[in-house]
Amino acid sequence: MVEPIYVPVLPAKRSAWDAYAQLDLHLRRRIAPLWTLVPRIGPERTRGARTVPTPDPDGDQATLSAWLTPRTDQLIEAMDGMTGWVDAVHVEDSVHGAATSLWRLMTRSGLRLVTGPERDPVLQRYAADLAFLSGRGIGVRVLVDDLLEEPRSTELSRLMDRLCLLPSTTDLILDIGPVTESAEASKKGIAALDLLGALVPWRTVVLTSGAFPRVHDTPGAELSYAVERHDHQLYQAVRAARPAFPRAVVYGDYSVDHVFSANIPHIPPPRPAWGVMRYTAPDAFLIGRAPTRNSYRFDRVERVRAMARWITESDAFRGADYGDGEGWLRECADGEGAKGSGNAGTWIKVGHVQHMNFVVRQLMGKSRRHDP
């Protein structure tokens, strides 16, 4: 078996799972995504907020099941038996409403369920039982939003003991969250690795964070700019600081989406007037904002193709034959008329495709334009 070397943390949305399914098989074998099931309705969820099981009231559970099951089936199809994790944090509190979907995920895919120390003990037990029945083990996702202290180590040890989790079938996912600069975030990553990474002989240790910004629908904002890949810098800094760590630490990021994307309910507000074209350079994200409809200031198609040209004419562009994402961007840049210019959903899917393709090659030392 080829071991995965990259963990993209992705929202369980069509644009992301279609992007994963589009990758070449040899790349997918090196990728183990962490999918987060998005909430169906309600306000945006708060990262790390504790949820508790809900009773079986008034039909909401049945509605959730009818909505969630076909979406998890599509995720199962996209994964096609490959390994990874699935975090049901936003739906697991509706125990009966999510039951069918989670059972199908555990019995029809290669995905492992995820829990976390901050979650309700009943939901932790539920996840552990499903993981035991699947026979594939479980992931423990620890949110590292602040520097960790010794009580967090005790908390994690108690969780392992209470759920009877064997280290040999348990994965530790250290999630640093949003990163806007790498120095302070690296301190958190090093502290987390020292405190929790060496606690037990975990099956897998993942260090993940997200540097892609949350781009708001602001008409007056810059149309094109670059943002440093602080997530990649963080990982490099932590590995350089702990070269003798006894096991491999797998690199993770949030691909070309912001950390809070999976916390946003599935039903969106009215379509925003702007979307984002995105491209991953070795040390930065190139971000080009494009309108989703015509306005008195912008012709949509003209602006979309201008942003595609800005990306394809940059020094970071790896050439149209590097991957499907690059090929689409070149065709968009060179095309005419509305056909082939895509929409906001297309742009994020293409962003995920090119990013995951590039990151795997970068980690393998094959990130240049003509590397096979």
Question: pLDDT tens digits, residue range 334-360?
Answer: 998 888 899 999 999 999 999 999 999
C-alpha span between 117 and 173 (Å, rounded) = 12
Q: Would you place residue 154 in the very low, low, confident or very high pLDDT band (cuts 50, 70, 90)?
A: very high
How high is the mean pLDDT of the chain? 92
Percent of the chain clearing pLDDT 90 (strictly above): 78
C-alpha span between 298 and 341 (Å, rounded) = 15
C-alpha span between 333 and 312 (Å, rounded) = 7
* 218-245 b/e (C-beta count within 10 Å ≥ 16 → b): eeeeeeeeeebbbbbbbbebbbeebeee
Task: Answer whether residue 211 shows pLDDT above 70.
Answer: yes
Helix (H) or strand (E) holding 86: strand 83-87
C-alpha span between 150 and 267 (Å, rounded) = 40
Q: Would you place residue 137 in the very low, low, confident or very high pLDDT band (cuts 50, 70, 90)?
A: very high
Task: Answer whether residue 219 shows pLDDT above 70.
Answer: no
C-alpha span between 41 and 68 (Å, rounded) = 12
Mean pLDDT for the stretch of residues 291-320: 88
Tokens encoding 158: 């108690």
C-alpha span between 134 and 98 (Å, rounded) = 16
Q: Which of 349, 95, 145 is nearest to 259 (CA)?
A: 145
Positive or negative, the CA dihedral 51, 46, 154, 126 is positive
User: Which residue is listed with tokens 């990758």?
Assistant: 23
Least confident stretch, 96-110, 275-289, 297-311: 297-311
Between residues 111 and 43, which one has the greater pLDDT? 111
If you count DSSP H runs as helices and E runs as strands, how many of each does the chain have, helices first? 11, 11
Strand arrangement of the beta sheet that strand 224-228 belongs to? 224-228, 284-291, 274-280
CB atoms within 10 A of CB 339: 8
Task: Answer whether residue 371 shows pLDDT above 70.
Answer: no
Q: What is the distance, to the nearest Å, from the Cα of residue 355 to the centroid of all Cα atoms in its chain? A: 12
